[in-house]
Amino acid sequence: MKTYYYLNGRNEQQGPVPGESLPNYGVKSDTLVWTAGMAQWTPAGKVEELAGIIPPPPPIDHPEPSGPTAGELPPDNHLVWAILCTVLCCLPLGIAAIVYSARVETLWNQGKHAEARKAASTAETLCYVSLALFTLMFIIGFFIAMIGEY
């Protein structure tokens, strides 16, 4: 195998180094290398002779975008429903719904769009559960009142 020169992180020429030893010197696929017969400095990953020696670059991780698409508005915070549930239905669940509703706009403005959507969803769920509990208690109360009259 040929000997190669390489450019370190400060663009200083190093070598000559045997091709199979390049990884021991921190040469990666994007490190520029040169040997006799090459027209110019080339990334090590593009030199055929080094293909099995220099590890390929790690795959690029593309995280799931959580930001808004163009023109997307913040989610509905359900604050009105949370207040109505607190006053009319179930005080503890209503208060929790108000807390989550109040967080929606703050999270959205901080750029935490996924968290803002989750807070809005939680507030909505708490309102539905509060309404369901109120309805259940109303039905139970109605039947108890009917039974008590007989």
pLDDT at res. 68:
60
pLDDT at res. 64:
60
What gap in Å lies between CA 117 and CA 104, rounded to an integer? 7
C-beta of residue 126 within 8 angstroms of C-beta of residue 97 = yes
pLDDT at res. 67:
58
pLDDT at res. 49:
87
Of the candidates 75, 80, 85, 89, the residue with the CA atom closest to the CA atom of residue 121: 75
Which positions ≥6 away from 42 have C-beta within 8 Å?
32, 33, 34
C-beta of residue 1 within 8 angstroms of C-beta of residue 49 = yes
Mean pLDDT for the stretch of residues 100-117: 92
What DSSP assignment string belongs to 94-145?
A: HHHHHHHHHHHHHHHHTT-HHHHHHHHHHHHHHHHHHHHHHHHHHHHHHHHH
In the structure encoding, which two tokens stand for residue 79, read together?
A: 């604050």
Q: pLDDT digit string (tens) for 4-52?
A: 998 988 888 998 999 888 888 889 888 999 999 999 999 988 888 888 8
Strands 42-43 and 3-7, how do they pair? unpaired
Q: Is the pLDDT of residue 140 over 60?
A: yes
What gap in Å lies between CA 74 and CA 56, rounded to an integer? 42
CA distances from 27 to 20, 62, 86 (A): 11, 25, 64
Q: pLDDT above 90 covers what percent of the chain?
A: 47
